[in-house]
Amino acid sequence: MVSGMSDVSALFEPYTFRSGIQVRNRLVLAPMTTTSADPDDSVSAAELEYAARRSGGVGLAITAVGYVTPGGKGFHGQFGAEHDGRLDSLRALAHAMKQAGARAVLQIFHAGHQAPPELVAHDVTSASDVPSSQPGRAASGVPVRPLTAAEIQDIILDFGQATRRAVEAGFDGVEIHGANGYLIQQFVSAHSNRRTDEWGGTLENRLRFPLAVTDEVQRIAAQAGRPFLVGYRFSPEEPHEQGLTMHDTFALLGALREKNLDYVHVSLQDFAGRPRRGGHPERSRLEQIAEALGDTPLIGVGNIWTPQDAAQALNLGASFAALGRALLLEPEWVQKVQSGRAAEIRTTFTTADRESLTLPEPMWNMLTGFMIKDRLVDAR
């Protein structure tokens, strides 16, 4: 029972997923880039400390994203899940996140055209030859190479093998990262996917790759021999003229709904924000996404700072509220709310607080470059 906080008591209701995995509450550690892996792309000791502390109160803890194949690495300081030599590294991360009672989920991806050229042997690949719109990537001058049909099939299998490693490492599930403009989203978007084969053109064809990845991940998960979660993360809209609209997103959600996933996780800057293109302009995207998913659980995220923010996300249709920057600033956010000490939640920090917040130094350096009004802006 949450003392004096009856209006947010729904946040602390347990839940059992379709796969059989049980969680103690509806609060989630959002996946956040740490840029802090060891030089060999193993999970660092600092990352283990960061993850362990922030998994202490949540029901579900999602890792920073790991890449599934060498050509899919997305940024410096990222840990890998691309070969069996990573198993010890992944086991340590799973253990760190689970030791305080959270269920641990490994997020997996391929960066596609967002990969820094120097990290992928200057062979930047995507659905088509459309470059990334990110200034740093676009300025590299390295052309983007469309993946061959055979390479697409190999990457699908790579997602499956990363899932197998997650099982062997002791994770409770995996989250397919189909959001934030990475490879899976690049296939869905008509802006970045200009293919004319079975993987592009019509919306049905553009959905073929994410659904094939999902099928392969679920196939491997079914062999785990124990309950094992499969989730999928997506971004609902893009700013490009030919980019994703809510129409595209509703089609994706309809297809994912048929997959009987454990959950779908929407990537939003503001959980209560309204759509820009498509859908009902006067209703939040979160509400409309929840309706489109039907009985598939939804994780909502974006600008959730207070217990009331998290409760509102549930009221808008989310099954879970993910905490990102709030847990960076206050690692004991969940425990303080649950014990009726929400007034003690940290809302500001100083440049002397890195060690007390258990933040890896590279992550801290990135975050302190994005401070505004004594809070952190989204650095993912």
Catalytic residue numbers, as ranges: 182
d(CA 342, CA 354): 22
3-state class (DSSP) for residue 27: strand
Check residue 175 and give left, alpha or beta (phi > 0: left; psi -120 to 50: alpha): beta
Detail the DSSP E strand segments found in 43-137: 60-62, 66-67, 103-109, 124-126
Distances (CA, A) of 13 to 22, 63, 225: 11, 23, 27
The residues, ordered by sequence, that sit 6+ positions from 90 with a Cβ below 8 Å of its Cβ are 43, 66, 81, 106, 165, 166, 169, 171
The residue to which tokens 């505004």 are assigned? 372
- What single letter denotes the amino acid at residue 265? H
What are the residues facing 175 on neighbouring strands?
A: 107, 231
- Sort strands 298-300 and 263-266 into parallel, antiparallel or unpaired: parallel
The residue to which tokens 């130094």 are assigned? 361
> In this structure, how many other beta carbons lie within 10 angstroms of the beta carbon of residue 10?
15
The residues, ordered by sequence, that sit 6+ positions from 380 with a Cβ below 8 Å of its Cβ are 31, 32, 33, 180, 324
The residues, ordered by sequence, that sit 6+ positions from 151 with a Cβ below 8 Å of its Cβ are 125
d(CA 309, CA 301): 10
